[in-house]
Each structure stands twice: as C-alpha cells, then as structure tokens.
Amino acid sequence: MFYKKQVIKDLLLIGGGHSHIKVIKSFGMNPIPGVRLTLINPDMYSLYSGMLPGIISGHYSFDDAHIDLIKLTSYSNCRFIKGKVIGIQSDNNRVIIEGRPPLTYDLLSINSGSSSNYKEIEDIDSIAIPVKPINSFLSQWKYIKSKINNSKKDRNIAVIGGGAGGVEIITAMRHSLGEKNNLTLITKENKILSGFPKKTINYFEDHLKKNSIELIKNIEVIKITKGKVISKKEEEFLFDDIFLVAQTAGPQWLKESNLDLNDEGFLLVNNKLQSLTKENIFGSGDIIKFDKYNLKKAGVYAVRQGDTLNKNIRNFFKKRNLNKYKPQKNFLSIITMGGKNAVVSKYSLSFKGKWVWHWKNYIDKNFISKFTNLSLIEMKSDEKIPKIFHTEEVKKLNDDMRCGGCGAKAAKEILNSALDGLNIKKRNDVVIGLDNPDDASIIKTPKGKLSTISLDFFPPMISDPYLFGKITAHHCLSDLYAMGAEPQSAMAIACLPLWPEHKISEELKSMLLGSIEIFNEENTQLVGGHTSEANECIYGFSVTGLIDKDEILAKSKLKKGDILVLTKAIGTGTILAANMRAKAKGLWVDKAIESMLISNKKSVEIIKKYGGTACTDITGFGLIGHLLEMLEKNQLTANINLENIPILDGADETISKKIISTLQDKNEKFSRYIKNCSKFNKSPNYKLLFDPQTAGGMLAGIPKDHVEDCLNDLTKNNYINARKIGTVEEQTKVKEKICIIK
C-alpha cells in the first residue's frame, strides 16, 4: 500500500487543520500520480474547533468531535508522521521534526493553527491554563473536573477573555459543573463580545447573570501568580483555576524561519494562499495573515480556504495559474450558551433558541461525517505519471528494460547519501565493519561462545519509514533473544522502489536511522548490507549473536508442569490490516506501534532469571503456530486459557469484522491440532490465536513455583500485558496438542 506507487514529488502538510483535511480527502479521491502526501501532526486526532464547547458541556464524546487522522491518511494513501515540527529550512526545502530525521518537500503547506499570545501579561504563573493548544487544555480541564467531582469544596474558576471563545467556554463550564463552584469571566473591554450586535451581547449578559457567572469588565490583566490575577490598576483577584482565552500568535519555529511574517509571527501570504517569500510554500487557517486585507481568526475561513488551497496545490504541480481566495464579507456567527441553546448573529440581527443549537449541531456533525465515514477507494493500477514530471531520470526509471543481477543495485551516490552521518555504535569484537568497509565484514567469536544467526525482512506495515526501521530492528533481534543470545551484528537487506535518487536515499536513510537507534540501544553494530531495485520496498536484517552453550533457550526444552507466560498482547496483524483499509482507529494503531516498539531483551533476561525452560517469539505463525513448534518434538500438550490471552485495543473488534492479515487463513489450519476448536471457533479471541504478529512478545515456559514472581518482574519492567495463559501437560494418545479452556 504505502510504497507501491512511484514517488516523484513530495507534498508535505504541517498540521491537521480544517483546510488540510480537505486536501487529504481530495487527494484520496483524485490523486496526482507521482505526488506523495505526508501529514506531520503531533496528535492522531484533529478536533473540529466549533465543537469544543460541546465537549466541555458534555454534549459530545471525544469521537463525536474529532477527525481520526490515521483513518483519513490511510484512506488517502498519505503518510502520517506523528511528530512536533521545530523548524523549516526553506532554502533547502526541509522540515525539522523533534527527535527524528528531517523531511524534504517539493511543496509545503502549513495549517497548524496558532498558539496563545500573552505579550500583554508580564508574568504568568503555571496555574494559568491557555485554551490553545486545545488538546492540552482539554486534558487539563478533564483533570480539574475530576478534582471538583471528588471534592465537597467549591472552587473559584476564572476565564480571561470576553470574546466569543471566552463566553462559550465559561458557559459550557457552568453547564458541565452545575450550580456549584464560582465562575468568573474577566474582560479588558467595557463589554463582552465586542463587534457583535447589541442584542447578542444582551442575550449573553442576561445568561451569565441567570447562571451565576460573575462578569468583571475593564480589567487589563498584567500578572498572574499563585492564583492571583493582578490588573494594571493593581486590583487583585484570587482563583483556584485560571483559563486564558487570549490573543494568538504564530509558533516559535515559524518565527525562527526566514519566511516573511507579521508582528505576531503569522505567515504572510498573498490572495492565493502563497507565501510572500517562497513560491512553493502555502498556508491557511489561523497560521496565516494576508498581506492585502485583514480577517478575523475564524474556523469558517479555514474551512473555505481548503477548497482554494487544494486547487492551488494541484495547479502548482501542474504549472498552471493559481486561483485567488475570495473571503466572504459577512458570515453567520453561532455562539453556544452551555446547554442546548445558542445565539445566531449576522449584520445587526440576532436570534436565540434551541433550534439554533440543533441547526449548528447538524452543520458540525455533517462536516465531521465527511472525514470519518470513509470507504476505501482503490487507486487505479494504470495511473500514468504526468508528462510535466518526465525528467530524464524519471524516464529512465520507467524503462521496461531494467537490469537484473548486480545491475539492479542501488547507485553508489544513494548509498553514500543514506549512510552519511549515521551514528553507529561500535563493538570491540567487530574487526571490519562500515567504518572501514571491505568485501565482507569480519567479526570475532569469543572463546567458549557460540554464534547465532537469523534473518527476517518484509514490506512496510506503516507509512512512517523511521518508525518502520525501528520496528524492523526489534523484530529481527527477537529471534536472537528467543534463543537466549546477546545480539552482536546486523547486515541490512533493502529492496528499494524505483524513485528518483534523492527521494530513495532519504527514505533509506530514515529507515536506517530508526534501525540504528534500536541497534545502538541493544549493543548491536550494523556492519554492512545489500540493496536492490524492486517494485516495492522490502527491508530487513540478517543478525548475529553470541550465546553460551548451556544457556540456549531452545523451543524443545519445554517441560511438563511449566506455566506458559506471554509477555505482550496479540493483535498487531488484524489492526495493521484494518489500518491499510482505513478501518482502524488511530488510538488502536498507536497502541499497536507502541507494543511493537517494546524490546524483548529485558523480558528474556527476566524469563532466564526465573528458570525459564523454553522460549520463542510470537511472529508470523501466530500464537498457536509458534506454541505448536514448542510442543511438536515433545510428548507434551498445552491447555490454553482463552480469557487470559492479552489482546491489543481494537483487535477483537477488527477481527470480528473479518478484517484479517494475509497469513491468517493459512494459520487457521493449525486448528486441526486443537482438541476442542469447534466450541470456540466463533469467538474473536479464538481467531486472534492465529493472528500473525510483527515484533510480537515472547512465549515461555516458567516453572510453577516461580511464575508469580516472574510476572511481577515483567510488569515492573514495562511488560504490562504479560500474562500466564496456560499449562503444559503430558501428551495422551490423542493427536491434538492443544486444548482450549475458559
């Protein structure tokens, strides 16, 4: 899925704002062949800001008001990079991301929203909670509300900011908290809702009074410290919790770029949403400021800008004239009142009622549904790269007469670029490696040690090459750990798609950086590798390790009476399959990735510490397939407690919808070795016993007397899903090796 299309140009999107989600969905329905989309966002979900008061009030759940960016990007074959942007190097078309490799672009678009701006407040205590970024605010509000619910004492809560945002938030808080607790709205103006019709202002001033929300006007806050709000006139107000709905500004990383910005740090753009500095950088939403006219920060503009942005991105790639964005001069403003009541305003007109809230609710839910109710669109296999992209290099890449043999290796320039600057940790027992490359690597085997060798490789299962590189390294090392060995060296295997040199070298480097980060942590030295051209990316490693003969954790050493312990939850196969079909929730995918990124090293140390007799890692053949490998050479059977099997969030739901990995059907043939499979084969948990795992956990036999101590130790060391899942018994005359129990 992720690497089966040729990449000629890169469109990089910073931020999952309202404009960008329109662009992403549009490219899913109508892609430009050769253009790869990548979204960088710190969170997997994007809140529809118009529904924020409804979340506070309790009218909407998290899922009701958020767009799942994992689902959306999967639907559109768009890479998703979960990360925080910390810089733009516009002179060499690079975006710097915290804690991971930078990404290059041919066209960059910024729709990341704004940050709170406190330049008028001289000193701000950490007690003050800004409403932006919104996700952080919601977490803090949830925490404060839990404290309120667990306390009999009323709290004094203030919201600073008398605009529409401040009014909506404090009325939503009142609805959520009920009549208890003291709420205060503070504004520096002589009225709230400046710029709105007088009737709208009157509606809300009456509403604040009826709901016991104190309104304090003409207070210019200059300091917030230890719960005190101090005004310019040296008035002091004491609160337990203070929320700031302040003016906004651009993020620091944008201020540190060489792009033209206004005084508040917003990106200056022309009426085509194009940066005044760089023609291949666009922006939309709260992050921009037009050079010719002034617009309020309002979600309606970001939504409407999405259509113009989408057209201009396409026009830019196709070298056509760009469209002008024409903002509407007037638009309806709907301000909610906490409960299911709202006020609608336009010009000098204002109307209030439940019907206004229900109208807004319909508009908001309809918008959300466009980006959440997705059915996967298969892209055409006969797509042709636009002629405008046909450089000499691209023409050669699409030559049907590509060579085999060593003529299919990646060019030296690609390798040099990918290997340049890699921080490879060195071991004393590596004689010849990548620091002084030769025709082969040379590695010492210490006296009394045995060498272990394993090999694994596969296509990417996620779109982020850096995380894929990490997961691949963990997966490949697991076979060594399962044997009880200490990893020593790794040799890379990389089949690379036919992309321009600078594209494929960056991709290879990202994968290698991810892998080397893991290898360095696991004291494993990358000593070489091999590349080849291919129709899609395939990546992996041959790894070697060292072990004492007496410490081998062979599968065949399982003993009667052992307790079977599984160290990680299962379900990566079905969740990853669902992700490829845009059917997996972002949270499920994130938890699956989190599990795959947990090293098996410490778990095996613990297994050995408590007298583990045998061990194997759970990978492609699923839990049952690998358990059978432990049982098949012994006169042993296993009783498996189905209810004790740890399962990743969402895996039972996806597999019950028959979303399965490619290998699942073949793995299910192992059912013939299960004594009572007919009793359980309709259960989702039963189906997950055959789910192929990537970078799965360890399955080990632990002596009965040590199993509780072993599990406690595993849990303390981050293997929070470790469970005892069954027992090993002596085999009877029946051919079945496994019995399921509840």
pLDDT digits (tens, 9 = 90+) for 495-553: 999 899 999 999 999 999 999 999 999 999 999 999 998 889 999 999 999 999 999 99
Place 579 in a pLDDT band, splitting at 50, 70 and 90. very high
Q: How confident is the model at residue 381 (pLDDT cuts 50, 70, 90)?
A: very low
- Is 191 a residue whose pLDDT tops 60? yes
* Structure-block tokens of residue 414: 């690609």
Helix H or strand E encompassing 397: helix 392-397
Residue 6 identity (one-letter amino acid): Q
**Alpha carbon distances (Å) from 162 to 167, 175, 391, 650:** 6, 18, 56, 42
- pLDDT tier, 401 (very low <50, low <70, confident <90, very high otherwise): low
Query: Where are the strands (E) in 90-130, listed by range?
Result: 94-97, 103-104, 107-110, 115-117, 123-124, 128-130
CA 382-387-391 angle, 5° bins: 115
Asked if 406 is an active-site residue, the reply is yes
Q: Residues 101, 509: contact at Cβ < 8 Å?
A: yes
- CA–CA dist 607, 609 (Å, integer): 5
pLDDT at 399: 73
Count of other CB atoms within 10 angstroms of residue 530: 13
Tokens describing residue 162: 């008398």
Q: What is the pLDDT of residues 279-295, one digit of tens each?
A: 999 999 999 999 988 87
Nearest Cα to Cα of residue 467 among 67, 24, 25, 70? 70
pLDDT, tens digit (0-9, with 9 covering 90-100), for 207-257: 999 999 999 999 998 888 888 899 888 899 999 999 999 778 889 999 999
Orientation of helix 707-716 relative to helix 601-609, angle to 10°: 150
> Would you tell me the crossing angle of helices 299-317 and 18-29 to the nearest 10 degrees?
40
In the prediction, which pLDDT does 409 show? 80
Torsion 242-243-249-254 (CA) sign: positive
**Of 290-299, 317-326, 615-624, minimum mean pLDDT range:** 290-299
**What's the confidence (pLDDT) of residue 613?**
95
Contact, 524 vs 452, CB < 8 A? no
- Using CA atoms, how far residue 685 sits from 430, 564, 640, 742, in Å, is 45, 17, 12, 11
Lowest mean per-residue pLDDT among 68-82, 98-112, 121-135: 121-135
Strands (E), 554-620: 563-566, 614-617
CA distance 154 to 265: 40
pTM of the model: 0.93
> Of these residues, 406, 537, 710, 739, which one is catalytic?
406
Determine the Cα–Cα distance for residues 244 and 684; give it in Å rounded to an integer: 47
Q: What is the pLDDT of residue 380?
A: 45
pLDDT value of residue 237: 93
pLDDT at residue 377, as a whole number:
59
CATH superfamily of 117-243: FAD/NAD(P)-binding domain (3.50.50.60)
Residue in 509, 679, 645, 484 with CA at minimum distance from that of residue 100: 509
User: Mean pLDDT, to the nearest integer, of 572-592?
Assistant: 96
Looking at the domain 554-741, which fold is it?
Answer: Phosphoribosyl-aminoimidazole Synthetase; Chain A, domain 2 (3.90.650)
Give the mean pLDDT of 349-373.
95
User: Is residue 317 within 8 Å of residue 35, measured between CB atoms?
Assistant: yes
Q: Strand, coil or helix: what is 42? A: coil
DSSP 8-class letter at 647: B
Give 275's strand partners: 269
Domains 9-114+250-331+351-372 and 117-243 agree in fold: yes
CATH 3.30.1330.10 fits 405-550, yes or no: yes
Write 135-143 long-range contacts (CB < 8 A, 24+). Answer: 135/43, 135/45, 135/47, 137/243, 138/47, 138/52, 138/55, 141/56
Question: For residue 670, what pLDDT is reported?
Answer: 94
- If one counts every other C-beta atom within 10 angstroms of the C-beta of residue 211, the result is 16
Say which CATH topology domain 9-114+250-331+351-372 has.
FAD/NAD(P)-binding domain (3.50.50)
Task: Give the pair of three-digit tokens for residue 548.
Answer: 């004492």
pLDDT value of residue 374: 85
**Residue showing tokens 């636009």:** 386
**Of 633 and 263, the one with more pLDDT:** 263
Question: How many other β-carbons are positioned within 10 Å of the β-carbon of residue 644?
Answer: 15
Report the pLDDT value the prediction gives residue 292, as an integer from 0 to 100. 83
Pick the range with the lowest mean pLDDT from 120-134, 337-351, 719-733: 120-134
Domain spans, the chain: 9-114+250-331+351-372, 117-243, 405-550, 554-741
List CB contacts of 405: < 8 A, sequence separation 6 or more: none
Q: In angstroms, what CA-CA distances link 171 with 188, 241, 303, 321, 631?
A: 19, 16, 25, 47, 64
Alpha helix ranges (H) inside 48-184? 52-57, 62-65, 69-75, 134-149, 164-177
* pLDDT given for residue 7 in this prediction: 93
State how far the Cα of 94 lies from the Cα of 10, in Å rounded to an integer.
11
The answer for residues whose C-beta is within 8 angstroms of residue 221's C-beta and 6 or more apart is: 120, 121, 160, 186, 188, 229, 230, 231, 232
